[in-house]
């Protein structure tokens, strides 16, 4: 798999490339706006402005907003419209604490259960992520980063783990994006991902799980000043 193939696969944190529906495309655009801070916490979603700027009707827009509400990125308030959800420091700390232990288990199970081809695909996404880091392209780097975490979870073959990990990861998208703002924090996160890749190559599940847990525990240090 070359770098472009890995980028395409990682774009939606999905195991396979698929044709998106219109509302999925709209949800992706709004999700990116939230992640990058163009729509800030507590900001009201201006549906009329989005309809105009995205060139879509209200139906796919509202379907997209329901998708994002299901991910925990926005709140839909009857008669008041939709607003970008704000997480408290306690929310973020507790979610990272749970996510660290979930991904510790996911790392161990993925190394036990994944095929060689599946691990190779995951490592190709890692290499593509490093390429974006070298070019300092933060959003595509971030999407690949998230795809790696989702991929490890998926390869655990544990559906409950996959569901809970996905729910928490979705709610933390903006916060974790902010965690890589400074060059030192970003470099530290990349170094931890290089350690993950090394453990994956060796199928060392215990080591991978420990690295993932430490990585997520350190994420709190990287984000607590911006929550």
| Residue 107: predicted pLDDT | 98
The Cα 37–Cα 178 span in angstroms is: 9
- pLDDT, residue 5, reads 55
Distances (CA, A) of 216 to 47, 95, 124, 223: 35, 10, 22, 11
Residues in the chain: 227
- Let me know the angle formed at the C-alpha of 125 by 19 and 28, rounded to the nearest 5 degrees: 40
- Helix axes of 116-134 and 3-10: crossing angle, nearest 10 degrees: 100
Per-residue confidence (pLDDT) for residue 10, from 0 to 100: 47
What pLDDT shows up at residue 129?
Answer: 97
Distance CA 145, CA 148 (A): 5
How far is CA 206 from its chain centroid? 23
pLDDT along the chain (227 residues), means of 10: 48 50 91 89 92 92 93 86 92 95 98 97 97 95 95 97 93 85 89 97 97 93 84
Per-residue confidence (pLDDT) for residue 6, from 0 to 100:
52
């Amino acid at each position: 798999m070359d770098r472009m193939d890995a980028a395409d696969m990682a774009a939606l944190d999905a195991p396979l490339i698929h044709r998106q529906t219109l509302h999925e495309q709209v949800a992706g655009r709004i999700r990116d706006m939230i992640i990058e801070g163009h729509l800030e916490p507590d900001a009201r979603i201006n549906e009329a402005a989005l309809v105009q700027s995205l060139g879509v009707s209200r139906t796919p827009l509202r379907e997209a907003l329901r998708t994002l509400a299901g991910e925990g990125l926005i709140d839909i308030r009857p008669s008041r419209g939709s607003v970008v959800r704000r997480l408290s420091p306690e929310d973020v700390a507790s979610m990272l604490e749970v996510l660290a232990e979930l991904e510790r288990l996911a790392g161990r199970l993925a190394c036990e259960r994944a095929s060689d081809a599946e691990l190779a695909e995951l490592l190709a996404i890692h290499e593509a992520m490093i390429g974006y880091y070298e070019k300092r392209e933060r959003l595509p780097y971030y999407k690949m980063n998230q795809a790696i975490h989702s991929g490890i979870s998926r390869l655990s073959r544990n559906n409950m783990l996959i569901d809970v990990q996905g729910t928490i990861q979705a709610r933390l998208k903006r916060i974790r994006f902010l965690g890589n703002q400074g060059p030192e924090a970003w470099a530290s996160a990349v170094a931890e991902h290089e350690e993950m890749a090394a453990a994956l190559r060796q199928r060392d599940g215990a080591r991978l799980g420990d690295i993932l847990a430490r990585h997520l525990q350190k994420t709190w240090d990287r984000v607590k000043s911006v929550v």
